Amino acid sequence: MNKRALFAIAAGMIIVFAMIIAMVTTYRPTVHHEETNQLKPKPAPYQATTPRSHPTVVTLDSLAMGEKIKNQLNRHPKIIKIDHNGHDKSHYFNHEITVRFRKLPAVQEIKRIERAIDGKLINQFDHFFIFRSNSKTYLELHQYFESIPTVSYSEPNYIYLQNEIPNDLLYSRYQWNLPAIDTEAGWMLSRGKKGVTIAVIDSGVDLDHPDLARRLQTGYNVFTENNIPEDENGHGTHVAGIIASQPNNHEGVAGITWFNPIMPIKALNADGYGTSFDVAKGIRWAVDHGAKVINLSLGNYQPSTVLEEAIRYAYDRDVVLVAASGNDSTSQPSFPAAYPEVISVGAVNPDLSFASYSNYGNYLDVVAPGTNIASTFSHHRYAALSGTSMAAPHVTALAGLIRSLNPRLSNDEVKQIIIDTATDLGNSGKDPYYGYGLINVYRALELASRSS
Q: Which of 274, 92, 143, 308 has its CA nearest to residue 201?
A: 274
Q: From CA 286, how far away is CA 125, in angstroms rounded?
A: 14
Q: From CA 158, how far away is CA 274, in angstroms rounded?
A: 8
In contact, 46 and 216? CB cutoff 8 Å: yes
The DSSP element (H or E) to which 155 belongs, if any, is strand 151-155
Three-state DSSP state, 305:
helix
In contact, 177 and 373? CB cutoff 8 Å: yes
Q: Which of 441, 442, 437, 415 has its CA nearest to residue 424?
A: 437
Question: How many other C-beta atoms are found inside a 10 Å radius of the C-beta of residue 120?
Answer: 15
**Would you give the DSSP letter of residue 58?**
E
- CA distances to 21, 40, 191, 227, 397 from 43, in Å: 30, 10, 22, 17, 24
- CA dihedral 216→408→422→247, nearest 10 degrees, is -30
What residues are annotated to the active site? 202, 235, 389
Q: From CA 212, how far away is CA 187, in angstroms rounded?
A: 19
In contact, 314 and 294? CB cutoff 8 Å: yes
Q: From CA 271, how far away is CA 412, in angstroms rounded?
A: 34
Q: Which residue type does 434 have?
A: Y
What is the SS3 string spanning 375-436?
EEECCCEEEEECCHHHHHHHHHHHHHHHHHHCCCCCHHHHHHHHHHCCECCCCCCCECCCEC
In contact, 339 and 296? CB cutoff 8 Å: no
Residue 437: left (phi > 0), alpha (psi -120 to 50), or beta?
left
What is the SS3 string spanning 199-242?
EEEEECECCCCCCCHHHECCCEECCCCECCCECCCCHHHHHHHH
Q: From CA 227, how far away is CA 394, in angstroms rounded?
A: 26
